[in-house]
Amino acid sequence: MNPLIKALKPPSIWLKNNAILVTAVRNHWNKDYKPGPYPQTEEERLKAAAKYGLDPREYQPYPDDGQGSGDYPKLPLESMESRDPYYPWDNPELKRNFNEPLHAEYDLIREDRYDVSAKLRVPLWGMWAQFLGTMFGTYIIYRLLDNVKMFHSVIPKQYPNNGKTHYTFDSDE
């Protein structure tokens, strides 16, 4: 047999037990976590809980309000920054376990984004006061100084030969 063809043949473990390959690929496909239709019966609710790896007592879907969430689980709003850093996570960089469903707002509550449980240093009314004070203060300064024009001083243009024509296009020379 040609050594190149022999090298390209898959190992026999793939042929005998392809569960390793299927599991490695299947557990990382997004189509498995695509929300299905909203569960109408208890049987559909139990299937959806099993699909997302949740206990049926913990599983609660988002309300069927037309937003397209379907059977996706309504997980508690907990920032990754709020999670225990000393817990033995499967993926410690993201503080996640293997096959753990993501929150619908995962892009907002990642550790490098917003911490929903953090107490604000400045209350919301203080933030609005700072913003409006800056905007109105800048506008008032603009209106007060609108009549005071600032520009560079300009002297009259200096032409050679006291403004008389100093060039000619005649080729009489």
- Secondary structure of 74-105 in HEC code, one letter for each residue: CCCCCCHHHCCCCCCCCECCCCECCCCCCCCC
Q: What is the pLDDT of residues 140-162, one digit of tens each?
A: 999 999 888 777 778 877 777 77
pLDDT average, residue stretch 28-42: 77
CA 4 – CA 126 distance, rounded (Å): 72
Q: Which among 53, 52, 96, 57 has a CA at the least distance from the CA of 70? A: 52
Q: Which tokens belong to 108?
A: 């907002």
Q: What is the pLDDT of residues 80-96, one digit of tens each?
A: 888 899 999 998 988 98
Ranges 41-50, 144-153, 160-169: which has the least confidence: 160-169
* Cα of 51 vs its chain's centroid, Å: 26
What pLDDT score does 33 carry? 60
Domain boundaries in the chain?
9-109, 124-155
Tokens coding 49: 């809980």
Asked if the model's pLDDT at residue 24 lies above 70, the reply is no
pLDDT digits (tens, 9 = 90+) for 106-148: 888 888 888 888 888 999 999 999 999 999 999 999 999 988 8
pTM of the entire predicted model:
0.53
Mean of the per-residue pLDDT values for the chain? Answer: 80
